[in-house]
Structure 1
Amino acid sequence: MTNLDIKFKLANTVATLLLVGSQGFSFSGWFLGHSYEFGPKDFIIILTGVLHFLLIGFTIYQYLPSAPKDVFESIGFWYLLVAVINSAVSFLWFFHLSIFAFVGLLWQLATLVFIYHRLRDYPPRNGTDHAFVNAPFSIYTAYSFFIVLWQIFQFNDQTKHNDLVLTCIIIIIGFVALHLVDYSHRKDWVYALTTGWILLGAAVFLSDVPHTTSLIVVGILISAVARTLIPNWLDRFNRRFSSWANRLGERTPLLGH
């Protein structure tokens, strides 16, 4: 496969550096004042760490000859735009310009959805493509969708901790994740697992109806992911077993001489 144009490589490299740096800046206060108790934000920190690892892998992968050039070209400069918006949002939150930051979040989500939609036309060829090209944007889109939906209700004290509002958020993001893994041709189990991880964090630290709803939705998503992955695993096992059995059958007559 021909090499990717240098301008896309540089754009993606700058985007990753900018994204990791700006999100590190956002979480710096948490790290400096973090207690030893495990809190809700720890779930997001772990998820962000996984996302950063995969995005760094995405950046390195583009320099390899085996990288899917057409996929990286379809992403183009949109990933860089996401990183620039994310950096702007981080600084706007830091200076307590909440409305402008929220507008930035909406713009970021729209850009991520655009990239996610484009990747629909480029299914992964192998596990490396899936891990370092498709998976990062599934995780980032799921996370951004949750953040935007949650942030909508944080501007009003009456809705900020309202059980009905929290339950609706849980159901909406769970429904979207279930659709993408169970009913969409993409069978996006990474998006579903990301949503399940976020809701697991919610279930641990919420109470009453939102707590129960989170656990139910997490269970449904895990079941959907299992229905997607287990048949594929069994199919691979059967193919390998059949190949092994065929090779053994070809050698068996020789053993009788």
Structure 2
Amino acid sequence: MAHWKDHLALKVTNIITFLLFTGGSSYASLPPFFGAAHPTYLTPESWIFGTWGIIHLLLIGMLVYQFTETGYHTVVQGIGWRFPLLCLLTAVYSTLSSSYANSKTTDFVISILAFVTIAFVGATVSHIYRSIKLHHPPKNLLDTAFVHVPFSLFHGFSVVLLFVAGFSAFGVNAALHPAGIFTKIFVFIALLLLEGTAAAYVFAGHGDVVGAAVISLSILAIYNHQTIARAGEFIHYSALAFFIISLIAVLRATIAAFTGRTNVGGATDEERAPLVG
């Protein structure tokens, strides 16, 4: 039986790193450019970054939950020291993504560093996500709410941020340059990959509706921001189409989870998709 003092150093470190590195720093990626050094043709509307607030609120619950016996097995054994590392990397990404300079070369270097950092964030959260999904399935409502849901959100949102950071580093400045044919092609491919990733969350294994939903809503945020006047009809309506496709998959999986019917992948009742993995 786990005691609340077991691995106390890790539990305290989790709290300290969360307070020092996660708190307000992640919100630096909100206005004015929403996590990018300059606006691109994949920049989403700012409301999607409210996802950070939901993630952080649930993670506060995780920091309390880790002192319980069930929370000990999931948080300490399933996540371990990767959570403090994730907090640190997220803070570095937030700082880089909200840093601007008058020099075009300096901005480019910062954008590259932000892209590399969010890739490390994605890799770290993927390790956590895989560990709790495969080895620590939800045991109760608290396990679901304070561990599985926030990391499903974090995992899905990190995929979106990787694409946003990539366009910031290598794409054109939407405020200065119109979208050319290659920009339109790359935006279309990015949206296709995002929609495919959202579908994969639903179809893979037992499915993950929460992870799929945050990607689907991010595509909607891209559609909201990339208006016809701003990005042209092709990008605007491509984002709308991919949002609708991803939303249909999310809604079908959600209905299957609540009704107990077979899921969109044809699984049996025992294999139907839950809300989180």
Q: Normalising by the residue count of structure 1, what TM-score does the alignment of the two structures yield?
A: 0.77
Q: Which amino acid letter does the alignment assign opposite residue 212 of structure 2?
A: A
8 Å Cα contact 1:150-1:169 kept in structure 2: no
2:193, 2:158 → 1: CA distance? 14
CA gap of 1:70–1:55, structure 2 versus 1, over 3 A, is: closer
1:136, 1:15 → 2: CA distance? 17
Q: Which residue of 2 aligns with 1:253?
A: none
Name which of 168, 184, 206 aligns with 2:189: 168
Q: 3-state DSSP class of the match of 2:155?
A: helix
**Alignment pair present for 1:203 and 2:203:** no
2:95, 2:173 → 1: CA distance? 25
**Alignment pair present for 1:90 and 2:115:** no
Name which of 230, 236, 239 aligns with 2:255: 230
Q: Point out the structure with the larger helix share.
A: 1
Q: Bigger CA drift: 60-69 or 200-209?
A: 60-69
Name stretches of at least 5 consecutive residues in structure 2 with no aligned partner. Answer: 35-42, 101-106, 262-277
**Alignment pair present for 1:110 and 2:123:** yes
Structure 1 residues 5-42: Cα deviation after superposition (integer angstroms, max 9, x where no partner): 212311221232121232134448789xxxxxxx9442
Q: Which residue of 1 aligns with 2:273?
A: none
How far did 1:100 drift? Answer: 2.4
**Alignment pair present for 1:80 and 2:94:** no
2:124, 2:63 → 1: CA distance? 19
Structure 1 residues 140-187: Cα deviation after superposition (integer angstroms, max 9, x where no partner): 1211111112322323454865222222111101101101212x1131
Q: 3-state DSSP class of the match of 2:237?
A: helix
8 Å Cα contact 1:43-1:197 kept in structure 2: no
Name stretches of at least 5 consecutive residues in structure 1 with no aligned partner. Answer: 32-38, 237-257
2:140, 2:249 → 1: CA distance? 22
Pairing of 1:101-180 with structure 2 (within 5 A): 101-121=114-134, 122-156=136-170, 158=172, 161=179, 162-180=183-201
2:30, 2:239 → 1: CA distance? 25
Q: 3-state DSSP class of the match of 2:2?
A: coil
Q: Which residue of 1 aligns with 2:103?
A: none
Q: How many residues align?
A: 228
Q: Which amino acid letter does the alignment assign opposite residue 178 of structure 1?
A: A
Q: Normalising by the residue count of structure 2, what TM-score does the alignment of the two structures yield?
A: 0.72
1:90, 1:76 → 2: CA distance? 23
CA gap of 1:149–1:2, structure 2 versus 1, over 3 A, is: same
Root-mean-square deviation over aligned CA pairs:
2.7
Q: Which residue of 2 aligns with 1:35?
A: none
Pairing of 1:210-249 with structure 2 (within 5 A): 210-235=235-260
8 Å Cα contact 2:111-2:168 kept in structure 1: no
**Alignment pair present for 1:8 and 2:10:** yes
CA gap of 1:40–1:26, structure 2 versus 1, over 3 A, is: closer
Paired-residue identity, %: 26
Structure 1 residues 197-238: Cα deviation after superposition (integer angstroms, max 9, x where no partner): 1111111222322322322222222222233232332349xx
CA gap of 1:29–1:173, structure 2 versus 1, over 3 A, is: closer
**Greater Cα radius of gyration, structure 1 or 2:** 1
